[in-house]
Amino acid sequence: LQELSQLTGDARWTKQAERLTDGLLEHCADWGEACCGILTHCTASYQQTTTIKSLLNEFKAKGWSAPGYHWVIDTDGNVHQLLSEDKVANGVKGYNDHSIHVAWVGGIVKNAYGKIVSTDNRTVHQRLELFDLLVKIKLRYRNAMIMGHRDIWGEDPKKWQKTCPNFNVREEYNF
């Protein structure tokens, strides 16, 4: 990006490069598109009790003016749009202005000892609809990178602040 800044004389490229973490969103510099990242999430909630209404209530309780996700896929594979893609969601602090946030309901369970643990418990319906939705969004924003929430901290699990969405998005959806 700094080379592009020098070649074009456009300082936006350098500023963008300095702002980004671990180079994961380097291609976010102004491509003339509203979106440079398609960030995938789990809701980090129980599949059996989480509803779209309960998610919206959670966002309001946090004092957020907008939901955390543009799109949510429930356990039956129903896709719900919570926010228009031209609006800013609250999915990942510092990455929201140019990202579309997609979530699947679930991501936690209680283990045999009663401890809450993160897991990839997507249903078959969620897996199919997530793939379909990501393809559709990618077709709208061809330069956007599909990645998981945790990927903003790099590939080293020791650097992750959370494991969301609890699977390797870049490996599973490498298109």
Indicate whether 52 pLDDT > 70: yes
- 63 forms beta bridges with none
DSSP letter at 45 equals B
Q: Is 169 helix (H, G, I), strand (E, B) or coil?
A: helix
pLDDT digits (tens, 9 = 90+) for 159-171: 999 999 999 998 8
Cα separation, 123 vs 2, in Å, equals 43
pLDDT in tens, 62-119: 999 999 999 999 999 999 999 999 999 998 888 888 899 999 999 999 999 999 999 9
The answer to whether the CB of 141 falls within 8 A of the CB of 38 is yes
Q: Which of 162, 39, 171, 54 is nearest to 105 (CA)?
A: 54
Tell me the per-residue pLDDT of 116-168, one tens digit each, with 9 for 90 and over: 999 999 999 999 999 999 999 999 888 888 999 999 888 899 999 999 999 99
pLDDT value at 31 more than 80: no
Q: How many helices (H) and strands (E) does the chain have?
A: 5, 7
pLDDT at 3 > cutoff 80:
no
pLDDT band at 11 (very low <50, low <70, confident <90, very high): low
Give the separation between CA 17 and CA 170, rounded to whole angstroms: 21
Question: What's the 3-state SS for 107-167?
Answer: EEEECCCCCEEECCCCCHHHHHHHHHHHHHHHHHCCCCEEEEHHHHHCCCHHHCCCCCCCC
pLDDT of 4 reads 41
Q: How far apart are CA 43 and CA 104, in angstroms?
A: 6
Q: What is the pLDDT of residue 44?
A: 94
pLDDT for 114 equals 94
CB 52 within 8 A of CB 74: yes
The confidence score (pLDDT) of residue 174 equals: 78
